[in-house]
Amino acid sequence: MPALPTLARHAGLAFLFVAAALAGTASGVLFAYSDDLPAISALDSYHPDTITRVLARDGTVAGEFAVERRVVLRYDEIPVLMRQAVLAAEDSGFFEHFGVSITGLVRAVVKNLVQMRKAGGASTLTQQLARKLFLTDEKTWERKAKELLLSIQIEKRYTKEEIFTLYCNQMYFGHGAYGVEAAAHLYFGKPVEALVVDEAAMIAGILQANVRQSPYVNPDAARRRRNYTLDRMAAEGFIPAAEATAAKARPIVTHGNPSRDNSFAPYYLEEVRKHLEAKYGAQQLYESGLTVRTPLDPRLQRIAARALDAGLRRVDKRRTGFRKAQPNVLRDGVTLATYRHERWARPLNAGDIVPALVTRVAAAGVSPGHAALRIGTLTAELTGAAFQWTRRTHAAQIVREGDLVDIELLAVDAGAATAEVRLEQTPLLEGAVVALENRTGHVLAMVGGYDFSRSKFNRATQALRQIGSTFKPILYTAAIDRGLTPATLLVDEPTSFDAGAGQPPYAPRNYDGRFEGPLTLRSALERSRNIPAVKVMEMLGPTQVVPYAARFGLPGALPPFLSSALGAGESTLLALASAYSAFPNHGVRMAPAQVLSVADREGVLLEEHAPEAHDALRADTAYVMTSLLRGVVQRGTAASAASLNWPLAGKTGTVNDYTDAWFVGFDPEITLGVWLGYDEKKPIGNGETGTTAALPIWIDIMRAYLEGRDREQPPTFEAPGNIVFVPVDRHSGEAVAVGTPQSIVEAFITGTQPSR
C-alpha cells in the first residue's frame, strides 16, 4: 500500500517536468513568432460592425440592415446568467488564468501528438477572441503559437471584464448573428436580459459549432449542447443541480427568425434603406450601427398587409377562377415523406395562409372526392366545402399528389396535429396600401405589393397610374374656390365638347351609361357622375384647374384637357393619399415622412425630421370639401363604409376598362389609400370598380384599426369660423326650412349660402 503515494508523487513530478519542458519549448516558439504579430493596441479603438436598427413608433425593432447582425453590449448589460453560461460552456477558469490554461494546453498537446492531429483544442476565451480578431481558424502549430502569444498580450493590456465583453460581442452564433444580444433575438425573439436559464445555456452551448448546432438546423445537437452547458453550470455551482435537471427536461422553443428578410413591413423598410444609403452610404448603413426612428405603426401595418392579401385573393378568385398549374415537388425528385417547406418551421396559427403538400387524392369518380394534405406536422382534409369556390366537385379535378397549394388555416388542433383548411391560390393581381397621419404627414403603414419576395417594385411609391375619379375632389376644390357651392345645380345629360381643329368632339360617358338630369354639385360628386365633372372643368377652364394638382403635390404635369376632369393624369398612391390628407388638415398638406431621426452607435443625432408643410387650399374650402366627401361615404359610391359608424370621408376611383381601382379616404386623424391593378395595364375584370374592388379592402383595414380606438368619443372634423350651415333641398339646392323632407344641412363659406 505505501507504494501508491510514492507512485503518485512520481507521476506528479513527471507531469510538472513535462509541463516545464513544454512551457520552455512554447516560450521559444512564441519568441520566434513575436515579431510577426498584429498590434494588440488596435483593440483600443476597435469598433465591430453592428446592426443598423429601424425602430417603429412604439420603439420595437421593425427591421435591421447589417453585414453582421450584432448589437454591442457593455459588461454590466450582459446578465449574470449569460456570463455564467458562457464561462461554464467554454472556460470556467477564465477569471483565474492569464490567457492560457497550462493544464488544458498540456492535455491538448499530448492528445494531438498521440493522435497525430493538427494543433487544436484547449482554447480559453482569450485565445478564441485572439483567433477571431487577428488570425484564422486554420489548425496549424504556427497559428496556435501566435494565438497563445496574442492571448498573453491581450491579458496584459486589458481587464478580464473588457476581454469578456469583447468576447460576448464578437463571437458568431449562426445565421448571421454575432454576439449574445443578436443571438437572443435570433433564437428567442427577445433581449439577452430576458433569457431564462435553459435559453442562455443553449446560446452558450452552440458556440463551438454555431450553425451546425443551431436549433433551426439540428435540434438534437442544440439540445445536447444545452444540456452539457446546464450540467457544467451546476458543476461550477452557478445553479442548483435540481434547476439544471428541470431545465434539461424542457423543450427548446424558438421564437426568433433565422431569415433576415422576413420583416412584417418589407416595402416600408426598403424605402427607409434607400434613403439611408443615398444619404450616408452603404458602409455606414450596413456596418456602423445606426439607430433609425420611424413613425411605422406595427399594428396598422399588419392589419393593412392582411387585408390587402385577403382582398387580392378575393378579387383574383372572383375574376380568374382556379388555376390548376401548381408547383409539384415530385418533379424535383423529392418524396412526399421527406419534403419540408421553410414556412413550416415557423408557428402555424388559425388565419395563416400557408403552403400545403397534397399527399393523397381520391380517384376520380370516387365519393367523397377529397384530398389529404400535410402542413409540417399537421394533417388536413381538403373537402368539397374547402374548394367550393373553384366550381369543381372533386379534388382530382384541381390537384394531384405532390402539388404544393396555398391553404388558409381555419382552425388548428395542436394536440391531434390536425387542421381545418380552405383552398386558396396566389393572386396574380397586385395592389398597394398607404396610411398617413394627417397632422404630421407621418407614414404609418405601407404595403407596396402582394409579396416583396415576388416583386420588390413598390406600387405605393413607384407606380404612376391614372387616378380616375379620385381626381374629382381636386377639380371641385377649384370650383369651390371660384364661387360654386355644394348646392350649385349641374345637369347630367348627353354632351359633347369641341376638341379642337381636326379632332372629333369629346363626348364623355357616365360609367353606368345613364343620365340623371339636374342635380346638385354634392350629388354629382357623391354619385361620381362624369358629365357634370367635365362641365365644371369647361366652366372653370382647364388652365385654372391644372395648377391645383401641383398644389396638392401630385407628380408630373397634368395635361390641360377636359378629360383630366376624369383622372386622365397619373399619380402614385402615396402622393394621392398625401393630397387627400390636406382636406381634414384644414387645407395644409404635410409632406410624407418615413424617417424621423437617425443616430450613430454612440447616440449622436445625425438627422432629425423637420415637418414640411404645404398650403394646398384654404381652410374653409377644405372643410366644405370634407363635408362633400363625407357624403360619398354616407350616401354615395362608398356608402358601404357608413356601416363603420365613424366620421369618414373619401372618394372611389375607376379607370377606363377597369384597369385600376382606387379608394382614398380619411377620418380626422389618418388618411388611408388603396389601389388595385395589374403591373401590365389590362382590365382587372368587368365591373371591378373602386367600389367593388378597392373599397372592401379599405373597410377591412379601417374596421380592424378602429377596434383599438375610443368608439364612445370619436374625433370630429372642426369647421372654421366662416362656415355657415343652411338646410337646402337635396335635389334643387334651394334653401328650405329646417326639417323640410328631402332636405340636407349643407356647409357654405360665408357669403355663398343661398337665401330663401
Residues contacting residue 120 through CB under 8 Å, at least 6 positions apart: 108, 112, 139, 144
Measure the CA–CA gap between 684 and 653, rounded to whole angstroms.
Answer: 14
User: What pLDDT shows up at residue 102?
Assistant: 59
Name the domain count of the chain: 3
User: Do 402 and 438 fall into the same domain?
Assistant: no
Give 652-670 pLDDT, tens digit per residue: 999 999 999 999 999 999 9
The stretch 588-607 carries a mean pLDDT of 96
User: What pLDDT shows up at residue 312?
Assistant: 97
Measure the CA–CA gap between 394 and 376, rounded to whole angstroms.
Answer: 24
User: What pLDDT shows up at residue 263?
Assistant: 82
φ/ψ of 65, rounded to 5, equals -130, 125
User: Which residues are known catalytic residues?
Assistant: 90, 469
CA 716 → CA 222, 398, 429, 668, 748, distances in Å? 57, 51, 36, 6, 18
User: Do 534 and 560 fall into the same domain?
Assistant: yes
What is the percent of the chain where pLDDT is above 90? 70
User: Do 456 and 378 fall into the same domain?
Assistant: no
Tell which residue, 392, 120, 363, 81, has the closest CA to residue 238: 81
What is the percent of the chain where pLDDT is above 70? 88
Q: Output the average pLDDT for the chain.
A: 89
Domain harbouring 580, CATH code = 3.40.710.10
Q: Which DSSP helix (H) or strand (E) runs through 478?
A: helix 472-481
The least confident of 120-129, 560-569, 629-638, 735-744 is 120-129
User: What pLDDT shows up at residue 471?
Assistant: 97
With a cut of 80, say whether residue 19 has pLDDT above it: no
User: Do 408 and 450 fall into the same domain?
Assistant: no
Give 478-496 pLDDT, tens digit per residue: 999 999 999 999 999 999 9
User: What pLDDT shows up at residue 113?
Assistant: 47
Q: How many residues does the chain have?
A: 756
Going by pLDDT thresholds of 50, 70 and 90, the confidence category of residue 538 is very high
- More confidently predicted of 327 and 727: 727
φ/ψ of 341, rounded to 5, equals -105, 140
User: Do 486 and 524 fall into the same domain?
Assistant: yes
The boundaries of the domain holding residue 209 are 75-249
User: What pLDDT shows up at residue 107?
Assistant: 54
User: ω before 696 within 30° of 0 (cis)?
Assistant: no
User: What pLDDT shows up at residue 712?
Assistant: 84
With a cut of 70, say whether residue 396 has pLDDT above it: yes
For residue 200, is it within any domain? yes
Give 56-94 pLDDT, tens digit per residue: 999 999 998 887 778 889 999 999 999 999 999 999 999
Angle (CA) 299 690 716, round 5°: 55
- Rg over alpha carbons for the chain, rounded to the nearest Å, is 34
User: What pLDDT shows up at residue 313?
Assistant: 95
Measure the CA–CA gap between 463 and 404, rounded to whole angstroms.
Answer: 31
User: Do 91 and 238 fall into the same domain?
Assistant: yes
For residue 61, is it within any domain? no
CB of 302 within 8 A of CB of 309?
no
User: What pLDDT shows up at residue 146?
Assistant: 74
User: What pLDDT shows up at residue 46?
Assistant: 62
For residue 262, is it within any domain? no
CB of 373 within 8 A of CB of 357?
yes
The least confident of 122-136, 312-326, 673-687 is 122-136
The least confident of 42-56, 419-433, 493-507 is 42-56
User: What pLDDT shows up at residue 118?
Assistant: 47
User: Do 371 and 445 fall into the same domain?
Assistant: no
With a cut of 80, say whether residue 141 has pLDDT above it: no
CB of 187 within 8 A of CB of 199?
yes
User: What pLDDT shows up at residue 116?
Assistant: 45
CB neighbour class for 608 (10 Å; exposed up to 12, middle 13-18, buried from 19): exposed
Domain boundary residue among 249, 265, 297? 249
- More confidently predicted of 300 and 110: 300
Helix (H, G, I), strand (E, B) or coil at 613: strand
The stretch 721-744 carries a mean pLDDT of 95
Measure the CA–CA gap between 341 and 61, rounded to whole angstroms.
Answer: 27
User: What pLDDT shows up at residue 582?
Assistant: 98
Most confident of 336-350, 432-446, 697-711: 432-446
With a cut of 90, say whether residue 108 has pLDDT above it: no
Measure the CA–CA gap between 474 and 549, rounded to whole angstroms.
Answer: 7
User: Do 463 and 566 fall into the same domain?
Assistant: yes
For residue 28, is it within any domain? no
Measure the CA–CA gap between 661 and 567, rounded to whole angstroms.
Answer: 12
User: What pLDDT shows up at residue 170?
Assistant: 86
User: Do 579 and 645 fall into the same domain?
Assistant: yes
CA 282 → CA 49, 269, 290, 294, distances in Å? 13, 15, 12, 19
Q: What is the pTM of this model?
A: 0.81
User: What pLDDT shows up at residue 105?
Assistant: 56
User: Do 589 and 474 fall into the same domain?
Assistant: yes
Give 461-472 pLDDT, tens digit per residue: 999 999 999 999
Domain boundary residue among 424, 459, 477? 424
User: Do 92 and 194 fall into the same domain?
Assistant: yes
The least confident of 73-82, 170-179, 254-263, 630-639 is 254-263
For residue 290, is it within any domain? no
Measure the CA–CA gap between 312 and 314, rounded to whole angstroms.
Answer: 5
Domain harbouring 330, CATH code = 2.40.50.140
Domain boundary residue among 424, 452, 475? 424
**b/e map of 232-248 (b: 16 or more CB within 10 Å)?**
bbbeeebbeeeebeebb
With a cut of 60, say whether residue 162 has pLDDT above it: yes
The stretch 112-128 carries a mean pLDDT of 61
Q: How many helices (H) and strands (E) does the chain have?
A: 20, 25
User: Do 472 and 456 fall into the same domain?
Assistant: yes
Q: Centre a 10 Å sphere on the Cβ of residue 155 and count the other Cβ atoms it contains.
A: 19
Tell which residue, 160, 169, 103, has the closest CA to residue 126: 160
